[in-house]
Amino acid sequence: MQKWWISTAQRPREGVLPAWRSAHPTQQHLYKCCYNPGMDDPTEQSQWRPLQELLARIDGEIGRIYTDREIKGLKPTYVRELLQLHLKGPMTITELADTIGRTHSALSQKVSAMRTAGLVRTVPGADARSKQVTLTAKSKKIVELLAAEWRATEAAIAELEAELPYPMTQVVRDIEEALAKKSFYDRIAEKLQ
C-alpha cells in the first residue's frame, strides 16, 4: 500500500490524524479529490495549459524585442501601464488600476515591480494614503518604442488571425459570452461538488 507521506519526517505520529482528516468536510472532500497521492497526475492532460504556454511564448517573443534593444527590466505586461502613464500623465495607483481595469492590489504589486525595474517612481499623493505613479527618465526614453511595438504587435496578431480558419478575437468573444451565462468560478465549483 502506498503511503501518503513522502519521508519519515512527514509521517504522522501514532494516534494523530493528518490535518486534512480533522478539517471541515468540504476541505476533506477537496483533499480526497485533489490531493490523493495514489491518483494520476491531473496536470499531465490539460486543455488549459496549451493556451497558457502559447500566451507565455508570445510574451517571451515580445520580450525578445526589448532584449534586442537592451532595455533591462521591461516585461510585456508593463507596457500598457507605461503607455497610459505617458498618455494621461501621473496617476494614483487607484486611478491607474481603474484605467487598466485591474484591482488596486494587483496593480500595486505591479507598480512595485516596475519601480524596482526603474520604470516608474512613486511619490506621496494628495492624501497620505495614496501614491502618485510617474514615469522615470528611463521610461520616457522608451515610450515611443513601446507605442510602436504595441502597434506592431496588433498588426502581427491581425496577420496571424487572417491565416486562421477561426479568428482568435472571435474565440475570445465566444468565451466571454459563454462565461457571461455561467462564470468560470461556477463551472469549477460545480465540478468540485
* Domain boundaries along the sequence of the chain: 49-192
pLDDT bracket for residue 7 (50, 70, 90):
very low
Summarised one tens digit per residue, pLDDT across range 35-75 is 556 668 888 888 889 999 999 999 999 999 999 999 999 99
- Which of 28-37, 82-91, 137-146 bottoms out in mean pLDDT, i.e. has the lowest? 28-37
Summarised one tens digit per residue, pLDDT across range 88-123 is 999 999 999 999 999 999 999 999 999 999 999 999
144 has a pLDDT exceeding 90: yes
Measure Cα distances from 3 to 27, 33, 42 in Å.
20, 16, 19
- 117 or 32, greater pLDDT: 117
Predicted pLDDT at 77: 95
Put simply, whether the predicted model's pTM sits higher than 0.75 gets the answer no
- CATH dotted code for 49-192: 1.10.10.10
Report the alpha-carbon distance of residue 52 to residue 185 in Å, rounded. 18
- Report CA dihedral (49, 109, 63, 120) to the nearest 10 degrees: 170
Summarised one tens digit per residue, pLDDT across range 68-86 is 999 999 999 999 999 999 9
